A and B are shown apart, each in its own frame.
Chain A
């Protein structure tokens, strides 16, 4: 089955740029989606189809893919960005949704 691997945590100071990775075999051949989940809340889609943003999501959020790695980039990180972030793809071979394990972003 297809596996997505994320680092458990990323920590940085306000104003810095956060890069959260998601590794999967040939992930650049798939559409990658990213979700933000704050404590006690449902996940929110922040990037879809590798690098598109839903309406209402700040331009500070962007995505990219290359080879086996997808990256969610959050520019000028704010305290309000502190959350868990999950990547997701559709595995067309098994017809299943696959999530990464999640990355906790801490803003120091």
Chain B
């Protein structure tokens, strides 16, 4: 059974750093892209970027380029989303998801709620 399991909710202050994790299991982790998706409460889905575990090739959506870092450790089947300095506007739910061969997101993590508040 394919599963994407994300790290738990975070409460942070502005300016702090943060790394979220997403562990895939039940399939060949190296061979399928993984994406990160942001959802501000009450709003739509925004693709942040994708990473290919096999060679760590990473593509960022233009709105998030330079704002976050997406990485992967294929030895432990885990993808990461990192902020060096959080802002209040980063408060949102963050999902990771596996991409299928037609670039669909076929399996999703449970989501990680990030709250940034002083």
Q: Mark A11-52, 1 if CB is under 8 A from B, else 0.
A: 000000000000000000001010101000011110011000
CA–CA, A94 and B109, complex, Å:
25
The stretch of A65-73, A75-83, A95-103 that contacts the partner chain = A95-103
List of B residues within 8 angstroms of A43 by Cβ: 37, 45, 95, 97, 105, 108
- In angstroms, Cα B71 to Cα A18, docked, is 40
Within the assembled complex, what's the spacing in Å between the Cα atoms of A46 and B11?
A: 32
Interface flag for A61 (CB, 8 Å): no
Interface of A is mostly: strand
Residues of chain A with a CB closer than 8 A to B46's CB? 99
| Interchain CB contact (< 8 A) of B103 among A1, A37, A97 | A97
Nearest residue (CB) in A for B50 is: A97
- Is B14 positioned at the interface, with any CB of A under 8 Å from its CB? no
Asked if B117 CB lies within 8 Å of chain A CBs, one says no
- The verdict on B44 contacting chain A, using a C-beta distance below 8 Å, is yes
| Contact in complex: A48, B59 (CB < 8 Å) | no
A33 partner, pick from B35, B37, B44, B104, beta carbons under 8 A: B104
Residue B77 is within 8 A (CB to CB) of chain A in the complex = no
Identify which of A48, A84, A101 gathers the most chain B CB atoms within 10 Å of its CB.
A48
**Contact between B95 and A42, CB atoms less than 8 A apart:** yes
Give the A-binding residues of B (Cβ under 8 A): 35, 37, 44-47, 50, 59, 61-62, 95, 97, 100, 102-106, 108-111
Interface positions of A (Cβ within 8 A of B)? 1, 31, 33, 35, 37, 42-45, 48-49, 54, 84, 86, 88-90, 94-102
